[in-house]
């Protein structure tokens, strides 16, 4: 069961470097698109093979990505994002992503993701560059 907790979303958005440099007005617009979600320790947030309908920003906490081609899980923390690859490639989730402790997440639904990157080329190319690096078999993050 997903636990939905109310946070100050704009405050959480500021913790994500991708958004931190944006003017306050943009931050509050983006904040309206993001949904706060609390992940519990050990919870699998994204499951390999599933259809992806959202991406996630970590406002606090850490997750591990179980990349099938890597011996060690990849750890992502505050300010990082995941779940972007399925949205960009329109393929299924390529790894399990599991919460390492309590995690405050910001969820961006696919339709809002498409709208957002369509309007913001810089945002799109940044997310694409990160996904590209992650696609390299030896790259950990």
- Residues engaged in binding ligand CMP (CB under 6 A): 46, 52, 65, 67, 74, 82-86, 93-95, 97, 134, 139-141
Nearer to ligand CMP, 11 or 53 (CB): 53
DSSP assignment letter at 91: S
Nearer to ligand CMP, 23 or 68 (CB): 68
CB of 11 to ligand CMP, least distance (A): 24
The number of residues making up the chain comes to 141
Indicate the Cα dihedral angle 100, 103, 109, 113, nearest 10°. Answer: -90
Q: Report the run of H or E that residue 5 belongs to, with start and end.
A: none
Nearer to ligand CMP, 28 or 139 (CB): 139
Pull the structure tokens for residue 70: 């890597």
């Amino acid at each position: 069961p997903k636990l939905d907790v109310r946070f100050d979303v704009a405050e959480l958005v500021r913790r994500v470097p991708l958004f931190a440099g944006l003017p306050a007005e943009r931050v509050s617009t983006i904040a309206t698109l993001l949904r706060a979600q609390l992940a519990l320790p050990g919870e699998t947030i994204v499951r390999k093979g599933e259809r992806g309908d959202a991406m996630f920003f970590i406002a606090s906490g850490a997750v591990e990505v179980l990349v099938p081609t890597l011996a060690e899980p990849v750890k992502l923390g505050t300010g990082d994002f995941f779940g972007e690859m399925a949205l960009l490639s329109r393929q299924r989730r390529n790894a399990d992503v599991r919460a390492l402790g309590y995690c405050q997440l910001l969820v961006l639904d696919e339709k809002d993701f498409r709208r957002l990157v369509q309007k913001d080329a810089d945002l799109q190319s940044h997310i694409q560059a990160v996904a590209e690096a992650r696609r390299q078999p030896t790259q950990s993050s």
